[in-house]
Structure 1
Amino acid sequence: MTETFTLVHISDVHLGPLDGFHLRHLNTKRALGYLNWQRGRRHVHSRGVADRIAADALAQAPDHIAVTGDLANLGLPGEYANTLAWLEALGDPRRVSVVPGNHDIYTRRLGGASCLETWAPFMRGNETPTDETGPVRFPYVRRQGPVALIGLNSAVPTPPFVAAGRLGEAQIAALSQTLVRLGETGLIRVVLIHHPPLPGQAPPRRALEDAAALAEVLERCGAELVLHGHNHRQMLAWRRHGVRGIPVLGAASASAAAAHKAEPLARYHVLRMRRESGLAHIDCEIRGLAETEGEIVRLAREDLVMPGR
């Protein structure tokens, strides 16, 4: 199998504005989140920059686009509707895949819409006709040419000041079976998750609670690539499996118009992958802003091959 597949990876766009904020949506966490947005984050995350990143991504003529969560900010119904329009401009649901982030499932549902309903066409599998109807189920599997995209949901409602995630035993068990099954097909298995999937990649209040269990599944069952967001930083880690290992690649925010603490300006990944002689070859190009108000350019590129022991 020598077909080259181009996958764009975008994360943490935090689309503004915060339309549709009503008293019926208010609770302690949303109130604190709203203050945080007004005082700081709205000066970092720019819809204009997110739109420019999207346009540049489409100019790379990708076969598929993966968005690993945090499209919203406070989990408001108006945000879900605005984000749906942005996703539809990005591409047809058959060519764009989404997994939710902690800002998308921000707090307990207060009678409004859910991103799992509003964005459902972008979060359904395509292995069988029944996958494309009914409620969203995780993990989902989307076969795209030589690639199988496996979407996980690590987003759960959390208390104020907590942005942790959790998969749960059922989702991890299903992932294990899915990875083994797809591994027998020769497809390039790409796992999508919002939270960093390995232990120690985020502080406890922001971490994936069952990262150790997920890491064990990856090591035992294998995958060719794991994509995540959440930390708003460029990250590359590895998990041992076989000879080559599994690259675990984290994206920075795709809407950052200004550097914030250790978070860089907006960027995203262009991943060109193929399988030759039984091995997956993945070329990663990082594109984004090199300077505020600058053009979107190539920032770096790297072949994702595990370094020697």
Structure 2
Amino acid sequence: MTDTFTLAHLSDVHLAPISGLHFRHWNTKRALGYLNWQRGRRHVHLRSVADLIAADALAHAPDHIAVTGDLANLGLPGEYAAALTWLEGLGDPDRVSVVPGNHDIYTGRLGGDSCLVTWGPFMRNSESWSTDARVQFPYVKTQGPVAFIGLCSAIPTPPFVAAGRLGDGQIAQLALALERLGAANYIRVVLIHHPPLPGQAPPQRALQDAAALADVLDQHGAELVLHGHNHREMLAWRRYSAGGIPVLGVPSASAGLSHKSEPLARYYLIRMQREDGALRINCETRGLTSVDGEVMTIDRRDLATPSV
């Protein structure tokens, strides 16, 4: 492979407005979440900014777009429907991959409504991997030389808890998928909402089985891991026998105002090229540097993976 594969990575858009909130959806967690939205987050996460970031990403004609969760705020059916329209604006499901975040699977009180159903086409295996049409995790979506492995770390949690968990079954299936895809020489890109390594988030916001996931990465490898959740730029490295694994966290793609230490809206344009056995990854950070500014390049960095 000498051609460049370009991937856009967006996350945590928290699409506004909150709609379709009925009495049957109320519980303590949703009530607290709604208050938090009204008092602060609705002034930060703006649909107009999410659309601006999406338009900039599309203008660069990426080969694929990855969205690592938290499209919704309170996990409501109306939010799922609005997010589906937004996702369809990004592209067809074979060129857009999504994993759910903790705000998407917010609480168990929804009856039959689920983002896993509404956004199902964006979270399914490629036919070349599995003919099973059900949404199941991890899913594997292949496009050219790249394989996207989507994980679901989102679980219903009590109030004031935003932690995640994969579970033993999903972790075991991930190990098998990484091994099989590595043997086929795919560039393996793992998608997850929560930061995947131990110590990357406080306990009430962390991935509960991060240590087990880190062990799988150490043993079976990957070329890139992408996540959201912390609304900040993050870069960590995980070692495995064949080289280093860059683990990238991206800020919110809809932040129109600074909030605490979180920056204004940003996303990544990631360019991957394999030549002479070495994979070269360049990550361009694009986003806003001022509230009324235009989307622009903020940073560029090379993430060099040693040749196998």
TM range (shorter): over 0.9
Counterpart in 1 of 2:10? 10
AA aligned to 1:183 is G
Secondary structure (helix, strand or coil) at the match of 1:304 reads strand
Secondary structure (helix, strand or coil) at the match of 1:173 reads helix
Counterpart in 2 of 1:301? 300
Distance 1:261 1:137, change over 3 A: same
AA aligned to 1:239 is R
Distance of 1:57 and 1:30 partners within structure 2: 32
AA aligned to 2:171 is I
Aligned positions of 1:1-309 closer than 5 A: 1-128=1-128, 131=131, 133=133, 135-242=134-241, 244-305=243-304
Distance of 1:90 and 1:218 partners within structure 2: 30
Secondary structure (helix, strand or coil) at the match of 1:40 reads helix
Contact 1:127 1:143 (8 Å CA) reproduced:
no
Distance of 2:130 and 2:172 partners within structure 1: 21
Shift, 1:129, TM fit: 7.8
AA aligned to 1:119 is W
AA aligned to 2:232 is R
Residue deviations 1:220-277 (CA, integer Å, cap 9, x gap): 1000000000000000000012353000000000000011001000000000101112
Secondary structure (helix, strand or coil) at the match of 1:111 reads coil
Question: After the TM superposition, which of the residue ranges 186-195 and 236-245 deviates more from structure 2?
Answer: 236-245
Residue deviations 1:142-168 (CA, integer Å, cap 9, x gap): 111110000000000000000000000
Q: Structure 2: 5+ residue runs without aligned partners?
A: none
Distance 1:83 1:3, change over 3 A: same
AA aligned to 2:214 is A
Contact 1:238 1:306 (8 Å CA) reproduced:
no
Distance of 2:162 and 2:60 partners within structure 1: 33
AA aligned to 2:292 is E
TM-score by length of 1: 0.97
Shift, 1:305, TM fit: 2.5
Distance of 1:243 and 1:81 partners within structure 2: 42
Secondary structure (helix, strand or coil) at the match of 1:6 reads strand
Distance of 1:199 and 1:97 partners within structure 2: 25
- The count of residues paired between Structure 1 and Structure 2 equals 306
Q: CA RMSD in A?
A: 1.3
AA aligned to 1:58 is L
Shift, 1:47, TM fit: 0.2
Identity %: 72
Residue deviations 1:65-111 (CA, integer Å, cap 9, x gap): 00000000000000000000000011111111000000000001322
Shift, 1:209, TM fit: 0.1
Q: Which runs of 4+ in 1 moved over 2 A?
A: 127-133
Distance of 1:132 and 1:290 partners within structure 2: 44
Distance of 2:115 and 2:274 partners within structure 1: 34
Contact 2:129 2:140 (8 Å CA) reproduced:
no
